Amino acid sequence: MVGIVGYGAYLPRFRIKVEEIANQWGNDPEVVKRGLRLKEKTVPAPDEDTITISTEAARYALLRAGIDPEKIGALYIGSESHPYAVKPSGTVVAEALGITPDVHIADFEFACKAGTEAMWVAHNAVKAGEVEYAIGIGADTSQGAPGDPLEYAASAGGSAFIFGRNKIVAEVLHTASFTTDTADFWRREGAFYPRHGGRFTGEMAYFRHITEAGKMLLEKAGMRPEDITYVIFHMPNGRFPLQVGRMLGFKKEQIEPGWIVPEMGNTYSGSSPTGLVATFDIGKPGDIIMLVSFGSGAGSDGFIFRLTDRIDEVRDLAPKVKEMLDRKRYVNYATYAKIREKIILNE
């Protein structure tokens, strides 16, 4: 059996409230908060990016795994905000973790599902017997154009998962992917901000892909929604994951532990993976946990995990998601615009 042997999330300390963004653009904060079911979002510090977030999350995963970093044979990072267009993020992270040079590295992109893509490939590299351990990371410092509804959600954070065969914390029971060519959200080469198809991003993209992948996964596993202890969906806002959960037959209590978007925002490739870490933080041995991501373009990856007895041993070895969400410092819109480099400066 192959599974997760160590996991970790990392969230920046800065936050901006929905009110602060809404007031800047002349929108009614209460309408936005109710409509999107969001309160605030994480903001990366000026010296944080996908590489630093991935490194910190992976360090926490290593603390929980308790393995020699040199035994990791593959490292994959999924993100849509890799700091370089050409030059991998993974090399920096691997060097910082001390796992070079005997390691296979790749950076992935697939909008918000790049993180679960990295997990999927890491899982299969171990399953194929090519490497002893592999690490899959999803992290982003998400971009949303100023004044666009996306700006209320686009946030920063990420999670890392080490896959292996020994000392497993969460066994991987089943996986499934559902993918079509659907242009619901994109960013062209050289463009600073992404664009999206408005309402088209809902029914034909998010809801279709998650429900289809979810159904495929449950069918493969021979399980029904009531057999699953907790479920995590991609969280572009607060409303969508609750709605897609209802469509698949899940109850709110099954979704809630991983539904961290009202305080975290949408960390894009780090969204559902960080929801998974938050669920591991409260899970018990034997719990069955299902994850279905969504990436525009479009596709969904699904996993079903079963927690082992080891979850109770490793849980407290690194910071929990709730602790990182509670440790915060608010910034106003002007500071946010400065540190997110939305202000044009002279060279």
Partner 1 sequence: MPTQRHWREIPQRYRLEGNFCPDCNRYFLPPRLVCPGCGRKELTPKKLSRKGKIVTFTVIRVPPKTQELKTPYPVAIVETEEGARLTCQVCDCEPSELRIGQEVEIVFREVMREGKTGVIMYGYKARPV
Q: Does residue 95 belong to the site contacting partner 1 (CB under 8 A)?
A: yes
Q: Which of 112, 117, 151, 196 is catalytic?
A: 112
CB of 45 to partner 1, least distance (A): 6
Which residue number, 12 or 257, has a Cβ lying nearer to partner 1? Answer: 12
* DSSP result, 4-61: EEEEEEE--SEEEEHHHHHHHHT--HHHHHHHHT--EEEE--TT--HHHHHHHHHHHH
- The first and second tokens of residue 82, run together, are 């890799």
Q: Which two tokens stand for residue 51?
A: 């590489």
Maximal C-alpha separation, the chain: 60
96 lies in the site for partner 1, by CB under 8 A:
yes
Residues in region 136-195 near partner 1 by CB under 8 A: none
Which residue among 22, 33, 40, 52 contacts partner 1 (CB under 8 A)? 52
Q: Which of 20, 40, 80, 151 is catalytic?
A: 80
Minimum distance of partner 1 from residue 137's CB (angstroms): 14
CA atoms within 13 A on the CB side of 216: 17
Nearest distance from C-beta of residue 315 to partner 1, angstroms: 20
Query: Does residue 80 carry a catalytic annotation?
Result: yes
Q: What are phi and psi of 301, to 5 degrees?
A: -110, 140
Which residues does residue 175 pair with via DSSP β-bridges, in sequence order? 303
Of 99 and 242, nearer to partner 1 (C-beta) is: 99
- Angle at which helix 271-282 crosses helix 114-127, to 10 degrees, equals 70
Nearer CB in complex with partner 1: 96/204 = 96
CA–CA distance, 201 with 268 (Å, rounded to integer): 14
Please give the structure tokens belonging to residue 2: 């192959």
Per DSSP, the three-state class of 92 is helix
**For partner 1, which is the closer residue by CB, 167 or 328?**
328
The sheet that has 14-17: what strands, in order across it? 40-43, 14-17, 329-330
For partner 1, the closer of residues 204 and 317 by Cβ is: 317
Kindly state whether residue 46 participates in binding partner 1, applying the rule CB under 8 A: yes
Binding track over 64-93 against partner 1, x by CB under 8 A = -------------------xx-------x-
Examine residue 338 and tell whether it contacts partner 1 (CB under 8 A): yes
Choose between 66 and 83: whose C-beta lies nearer to partner 1: 83
For the chain, helix (H) and strand (E) counts, in that order, are 13, 14
Q: Is residue 47 at the binding interface for partner 1, with CB under 8 A as the rule?
A: yes
Look up residue 206 and give its DSSP letter: I
Does 48 bind partner 1 (CB under 8 A)? Our answer is: yes
| Tokens representing residue 139 in the block | 């992290």
Binders in 302-331 for partner 1, by CB under 8 A:
329
Pairing of strands 72-78, 230-233: unpaired
Q: Is 105 in the site for partner 1 (CB under 8 A)?
A: no
| Least separation in angstroms between CB 218 and partner 1 | 39
341 binds partner 1 (CB under 8 A): yes
300: three-class secondary structure by DSSP = strand
When asked if residue 43 is in the footprint of partner 1 (CB under 8 A), the reply is no
Size of the site for partner 1 (CB under 8 A): 25
Determine contact, residues 218/210, Cβ cutoff 8 Å: no
Quick check: 339 binds partner 1 (CB under 8 A)? yes
The residue ranges that bind partner 1 (CB under 8 A) are 12-14, 45-49, 51-52, 55-56, 59, 83-84, 92, 95-96, 98, 329, 338-339, 341, 345, 347
Q: Which residues are catalytic?
A: 80, 112, 234
